Amino acid sequence: MNAPKFAALSRISKSLWRTGLSLTLAVLVASCGDKPQQKGGPPPPTVTVAQPTKRTIFDFDEYVGRFVAVNSVEVRARVSGYLESVHFKDGSKVKQGDLLFTIDKRPFQNAMAQVRATLTQAKSNQSFTEADFIRGEQLAKEKTITDQVFQQRSQAYRNAQAAVAGAEAALRTAELDLSFTELRAPVDGRIGDRRVSPGNLVTGGAGGNTTLLATIVTDDPIHFEFTFDEASYLRYERAFKPGNGGTNRGTGVKVSLKLIDENDFGHSGTLDFVDNVISPSTGTIRGRALFANSKDLFTPGMFARVRVPASPPYEALLVPDAAIGSEQSRKFVLVVDGENTAQTRYVTPGQLADGKLRVIKDGIAPGDRIIVNGMARVRAGQKVNIGRPGGPPGGAKPAADAVGKPAAGEAGKPK
């Protein structure tokens, strides 16, 4: 290789070496300017906790039933005749003794006048035979008349007495028939519509073909009837024996009711009857409760739901229903331990109270701190920060954290 070519190659090699060294230095300088990366994960989630509420409650069952009238009366005539007038407004309230219908009285007045005339005649005959009998007694003592004549006068007097008694009974019957021409309300209640208009012939009497004029139902108080199964009957019988909140066959127990358009069981009543047989076809037994109805809200035939106590009162722990999670068929709550770590507690939930608190029959203790807000951000075994709620959620008691101080990031928030 000649000298000029060697010199050129030497200059190129030195140039490339200087270029690579510059790039290396630039990379080192750039890397020295970067900030160090932060260590650790995100902060623990903030949750709200509360202690279970302790309350005296009782279990209950709910049934569907319907209202029935305490008294239901069909107004029918006891005598036949033409309907003369109607004295009520359809669907109005009536009091016992109010005049409802009037049947034409004239035929019954004539019959009563005829019976009175017969009674007057019978009394006149009685007076004559009585005087004749008294004279006969004196003559018989003096042996002026024979015994046979005296016996005839005595028999005539007795027949006259019987005729008077018969006429008096006929007069009472005629007076009763005349009074039956005025049909009055036998009970207090609400009357339906009239079934017969004035001018129509009304068939009365005690037979089965009498004319139905109207119906009256009592609606204050009012009965509510429902049925329950044999197992429930046995449970009620054992729970509500005399001296344990009930009387005979559970009667006297307080029950509550709600209508189909209501959300709460706001109507109170008393169980007053349980049937004496269980139906062999359905396996159920009939119960009945009594409710006041001063506002005329209930009417016979109306459906409603009734809530019946199913156990004696007992102490129970309640938590907000929103604090209960589901894991397939199991229910659980998240409890914060003394190290502010969330732990899973499987529980046995009971009935819902006040629409938002759930009875917990097993799985928690009175002092447990249960997560009521923020469950979606927490998993079992994870550290949490305990927040400060403005008030106890769902009526539960708020719980302080383990050390009695605000958690990190919570200082300055209102209690």
Reported as a single tens digit per residue, the pLDDT across 215-227 is 999 988 999 999 9
Q: Is 160 exposed, middle or buried (0-12, 13-18, 19+ CB in 10 A)?
A: buried
Beta partners for 117? Answer: none
Locate CATH 2.40.420.20 in the chain.
47-55+317-398
Quick check: 30 pLDDT over 50? no
Looking at residue 316, its amino acid is A
**Which amino acid appears at position 15 of this protein?**
S
Which pLDDT score is estimated for 400? 43
pLDDT at 31 over 90: no
User: How many residues belong to the chain?
Assistant: 415
| pLDDT above 90 as % of the chain | 45
pLDDT greater at residue 11 or residue 201: 201
DSSP state of 211: P
If pLDDT is split at 50, 70 and 90, which confidence band does 29 have?
very low
Of residues 389 and 199, more confidently modeled: 199
According to DSSP, the residues that pair with 169 across neighbouring strands are none
Q: Does the pLDDT of residue 37 top 70, yes or no?
A: no
The residue type of 106 is: R
CATH 1.10.287.470 in the chain, residues? 105-180
CA–CA distance, 141 with 346 (Å, rounded to integer): 113
Give pLDDT, residue 411.
36
The strand pairing partners of 358, in sequence order, are 319, 352
Q: Which two tokens stand for residue 353?
A: 């109270």
Quick one: average pLDDT of 407-412? 36
Strands (E), 297-354: 303-309, 314-320, 325-327, 330-336, 342-353
The mean pLDDT of the chain is 82
Which pairing describes strands 81-86 and 201-202: parallel, antiparallel, or unpaired?
Answer: antiparallel
DSSP tally for the chain: helices H, then strands E: 4, 24
Q: Residue 387 phi/psi, 5° resolution?
A: -80, 175
User: Residue range 176-188: average pLDDT?
Assistant: 94
| pLDDT confidence of residue 145 | 82
The CA distance from 296 to 361, in Å, is 40
> What are 276-331's pLDDT values in tens digits?
899 999 999 999 999 999 888 999 999 999 999 888 788 889 998 888 888 888 99
Give the tens place of pLDDT for each residue, 115-159.
Answer: 999 999 999 999 999 898 888 888 888 888 888 888 888 999 999
pLDDT band of 63, cuts 50, 70, 90: very high
Q: 3-state class of 115 per DSSP?
A: helix
Q: Give the pair of three-digit tokens for residue 6.
A: 């060697």
Q: Which CATH number fits domain 47-55+317-398: 3.30.300.30, 2.40.420.20, 2.30.110.10, 2.20.25.90?
A: 2.40.420.20
What is the CATH architecture of 105-180?
A: Orthogonal Bundle (1.10)
Q: Span 188-207, mean pLDDT?
A: 91
Residues with Cβ within 8 Å of residue 394, at least 6 apart in sequence: 50, 319, 320, 321, 322, 323, 356, 357, 372
User: What mean pLDDT do residues 108-113 have?
Assistant: 95
Q: Is the pLDDT of residue 232 over 80?
A: yes
- Residue 384's nearest CA partner among 48, 88, 92, 80 is 48
Single out the residue of 368, 361, 373 nearest to residue 317, CA to CA.
361
Q: Which residues are within 8 A (CB) of 159 and not within 5 positions of it... i.e. 6 or more apart?
A: 129
